[in-house]
Amino acid sequence: MSKPKIVCVVGTRPDAIKTAPVVLELRRFADRVDTLVVSTGQHREMLQQVFECFGLAADHDLDIMQHGQTLAQVTCRALEGIDRILEELRPDFLIAQGDTTTTFVGALAAFYRKVPFGHVEAGLRTGRVDDPFPEEFNRRAASLVTVLHFPPTRWAADNLRSEGISEEAVLVTGNTCIDAVLQVAERHPQDWLPEVEGRVILLTTHRRENWGGPQRSIATAALELLDRFPDTHLAVPMHKNPVVRETLTGILGSHDRVTLMEPPAYPRFVKLMQRSHLILTDSGGVQEEAPAFGIPVLVLRETTERPEGVTAGNARLIGADRQAIVDAATELLTDDAAYAAMSTSRSPYGDGRAAARIRHAVLGHLGIESPAEEPWVE
């Protein structure tokens, strides 16, 4: 008799980072279940970096991306590709994480094929279906067909319950990104910017809602901070999107205390976060990861689906207004007490054992016994 089969679908770098601990945990029980990784290839080069970091590879690569394609085209190609894979593999369970197009499409394809779907990082909400766009829609839509919801926190779980999802289908796990970031940080040495003696400010910005004017405002604010604080150095990993790169290089490219760089491999990015004194970001993943190292985060967005960091004091919601960014960063760069209040090292997002909780629930759903994990207590 063949073993049950679990498919984990990923498309972007964050997908791979947050799904890798789940895949590795499931494969600890390879005598009881087969676990396969399917990649849509939304972030091809960056996906490969993450796979190599965790010693993984895609068992099936759909290679859906084409230059200049629209969201609708990505959605259609991913849906057709995942549907073909499900028809071929006939899995017993499908897992995807977060809020990407791959996640939405994976949930929909599983629903069409009547394959139980597990949603990692479920329950995040901003209250506006178009902000962030299209991620808020993606995760809400995925929740409609999810069999097992794995919210990272009690706040996310409460969102699901308020939408009528039964208590039995919801398991608070902590966030798998904490599993990933702690594993990587422990394994890799610090080798970032050895020539820089001062304070490093890390800037990451790529979200669609910040393209154009907001991104110019963000970059201009960063320049002003460099002028105010000669002991600071700005590190800017640039997203592959040419719209983002044109703005950042045009405003920041000529400054002698700015390092513009290609997106680092995941282990190097983790060490860059650890090397930083302050982080400015519109990334959801960075909002979750940085508190694990006690690094204050200024969130360059008007809304966040990760309010736990704001509530705990690890992060502050700033938006993209130049003066607001300068004022908030200046306070943290000049006021030791304000900085200390935001640099607590206890993460509100997880304890590094989320993947084990997910594994236990998924295998249990398939009627397979495995060791239980202690509940996540925020």
Find the catalytic residue in 27, 208, 255, 365. 208
Annotated catalytic residue within 15, 25, 121, 288: 121
Q: What is the largest CA-CA distance in the chain?
A: 68
Q: Which of 15, 135, 305, 373 is catalytic?
A: 135
Q: How far apart are CA 29 and CA 140, in angstroms?
A: 31
Residue type, 71: L
Going from the first residue of the chain to its last (378 residues), give the mean pLDDT of each consecutive group of 10, the final group possibly shorter: 93 92 98 97 77 93 84 94 97 97 97 98 94 93 98 96 97 96 90 88 90 91 97 92 88 94 90 96 91 94 90 94 97 96 85 97 98 91
pLDDT at 345: 61
- CA triple 227-232-238, angle to 5 deg: 95
The token pair at 126 is: 């901003």
60 an active-site residue? no
Residue 208 among the catalytic residues: yes
**Is 239 a known active-site residue?**
yes
121 belongs to the catalytic site: yes
pTM here? 0.84
Q: Point out the catalytic residue in the list 125, 206, 359, 360.
A: 206
What is the structure's pLDDT at 7?
Answer: 98
> Which of 15, 25, 92, 99 is labelled catalytic?
99
CA distance 175 to 172: 9
Cβ burial, residue 189 (10 Å; 0-12/13-18/19+): exposed
Q: Please give the pLDDT value at position 64.
A: 81
pLDDT for residue 45: 72
pLDDT at res. 258? 96
135 is catalytic: yes
> What sign has the CA pseudo-torsion 39, 246, 283, 126?
negative
- For residues 74 and 65, give the distance between their C-alpha atoms in angstroms, rounded to a whole number: 7
Question: Going from the N-terminus, what domains does the chain have, and what CATH number goes with each?
Answer: 5-175+350-365 (3.40.50.2000), 191-342 (3.40.50.2000)
